[in-house]
Structure 1
């Protein structure tokens, strides 16, 4: 491929064209996961929807392998490719808040930090993830789990419309009244259907929450996990808390030194309701379940979203496995505790993110996201800054997941998957899979958008 042919074909392209000969290439080809080491022939950093349309048309006409990069947080590195072309939206980070309408318009290259900062200025929030460096595009298209899920639903449950560049280069709007089938598919179906250049979200009047982590000694893990299971299944929607196993980071500014590097169990809380009710709840809870480490208190939404950013810096090695989970039997809890003791370092661990509450009151067929009846999305993450520990963190995650998988619901949150094959994707979408295949065939029949958790269109009939 002629590396300068893109510029010649589209002299009006307003972004940056990066090839391997450019000094910025090494930085541009990196994603958050340092385990991903791919070399595209061409990276085009687009500045608007018109640029994206040019890039899509070029890739289609030249039959190039095409990846789409938003925030670059995808664990499997599906925002990058070897050879071919990358559409990079990192220059597209405008956020426009409409407080009178309780909406916010967010460009596809934004991070959660961009979104949180803009909405917080108006006392508003959009339910999203738990790290400010995560890209809003990948998070949303996969579903969107985070601190406000039980109160406000998944991120996709708050998506009102999206502007999308399709495989044929057209820019269309998807909403409840326009291209309704496409709107259904992008709410959980990933990047299979086009490049989302902007999202319009509903906002919520949430500015400060009562949250943060609490940790207990491992001797209390089984009792705590049993209590947590019962509690979270019937808790008021405004109370969110994800269960975790971790080693305590050796950070004297955050954690008492006596617990540094100790393996512990914990709950990361987020109470987004009335502050007095939150204070009363945690006061009673502390009396009954006194934690060894208690960092829970009033926090602005952007602060709770950044609590763990410093632990998960770009360039670290990542390997994670996930599953949807309904129930924690005593046998399952014993398996969790067994593997928790094998956590390799303070970057790695296991989380159970609740998906009940408001998220569970959306029908399984109302969006592509299928597991509305599960209680948690589980992720087991091996993370390490040292490339020499790659095999160690992979083995930790795989071994932990392999022993638990038979007790789970079969599918996984797509944002917690590596490249795991077509059967795993089918399990993740369940009865929604065939509808997704049909919509894929309508909007991307040649599977241009295939560097993702790919939903393949049905093969074209030939006579």
Structure 2
């Protein structure tokens, strides 16, 4: 116990590691919490919530620090950080695993891979499991195995009163429904998950690069192919700026390289590629490749902060139908007139087994989407922030006739009807669950789900 009455590891402005402890992945934000409480047990989380309520201190919940708008931190308040709740327990017999909600993806993937398994999570190595899961979760295994939440069996949560509760299909089932796509920070602090895990060994991967001149033909061919190809294959495509002058498609396939090469033919005939690479690799190597990992990256992050941290403004949408050529030309126009050479648009193939569950069966409503669009801008100098932020928001708005909706894990405070865009038909039920489990709105942040009495 410390002088604050909190348990776990405490970091304050006077601590030597305070600046490292307060750093956000999005360095556009420079926040100064009063206390950062690194919880080492579920009891620490419970104590933190009770303490914050008793002292009337504002708080936020943090795992991997990847909130696009830095809503997992705040000035002058308490940050409840669960990143040290990262234990991994695999039951090979039942093909299930109990995973600490604070686990970061790459160390988690490594531990699961040692046991011969994985989960269909995301690609960024330093994303936290809790936020990723609660928002839905997708990555390079989405089409064969569905969203990450589709493998979720149970969770342990600390509620607004500091009590530890369990949610699954039989106990607190409304909370379990809401926690599969309703987003982190709304209902309580998840401390552990129980997942079905999937066996994995080697995978086939590909990378195809085209010149920017093939933009319309390549994008059109990709969208007609990626959501509809063999369900064992999940693909993304990065649309880079005209100044870089390239389009890059990548993917992961649960099959042989010979099969993969045949499946890629619609892309190869769309426009002559500059480079084609197809190979078989151990699954954990594919994780490193798609995560853009440098050797020693995670070890460096522990002592020096995330080497990938940078200032950015990202946003996104979903395409339920194929983009018309006019929309593809809009994408090309924006990328031809980008204020930063590093800006890009990434399309992620969905459908497959992600679409086998109905939009209201879980809180994640975007089941009918063919693919997602992530609009990405980043810059070097602070003076470039405004022009790039305007660029990315204008891009999303221009494409709204063709791609709408919002992914709760892509926080964007410039979307006026954020809650409706995130949840559509599921919003009323989410408000009911919020009101039941957190009637006093203890868990609050600017884009959070409101209680019923907050709605005018």
| TM-score calculated relative to the size of structure 2 | 0.91
**Structure 1 vs Structure 2 CA RMSD:** 2.3
Q: How far 1:225 sits from its partner (Å)? A: 1.5
CA contact (8 A) 2:208 2:274 kept: yes
Equivalences for residues 19-418 of structure 1 within 5 A: 19-191=12-184, 192-246=186-240, 262-282=244-264, 286=268, 290-307=272-289, 308-310=291-293, 313-326=307-320, 327-345=322-340, 347-409=342-404, 411-418=405-412
Q: Work out the CA distance in 2 between the residues paired with 1:85 and 1:421.
A: 27
Q: CA, structure 1 residues 420+34, in 2 after alignment: closer, same or farther (shift >3 Å)?
A: same
Out of 304-313 and 419-428, give the one that drifted further: 304-313
* Count of aligned residue pairs for this structure pair: 441
Shift of 1:288: 6.8
TM-score (norm 1): 0.89
Please name the residue that 2:435 is paired with.
441
Shift of 1:418: 2.1
Instruction: Specify the alignment match of 1:256 in structure 2.
Output: none
Q: SS at 1:366's partner residue?
A: coil
Distance in 2, Cα, partners of 1:241 & 1:460 = 41
Q: Is the 8 A contact 1:216 1:265 kept in 2?
A: yes
Classify 1:20/1:179 alpha carbon distance in 2 versus 1 (closer, same or farther; 3 Å): same
Q: Which runs of 5+ in 1 are unaligned?
A: 1-5, 249-260
Q: Does the 8 A contact of 1:131 with 1:306 survive in 2?
A: no
Identify the residue that residue 425 of structure 2 maps to in structure 1. Answer: 431
Contact 2:418 / 2:447 at 8 angstroms: preserved in 1? Answer: no
Moved more, 17-26 or 393-402: 393-402
Question: Is the 8 Å Cα contact of residues 245 and 263 (structure 1) preserved in structure 2?
Answer: no
**In 1, Cα distance between equivalents of 2:15 and 2:50:** 23
Q: CA deviation at 1:150?
A: 0.7
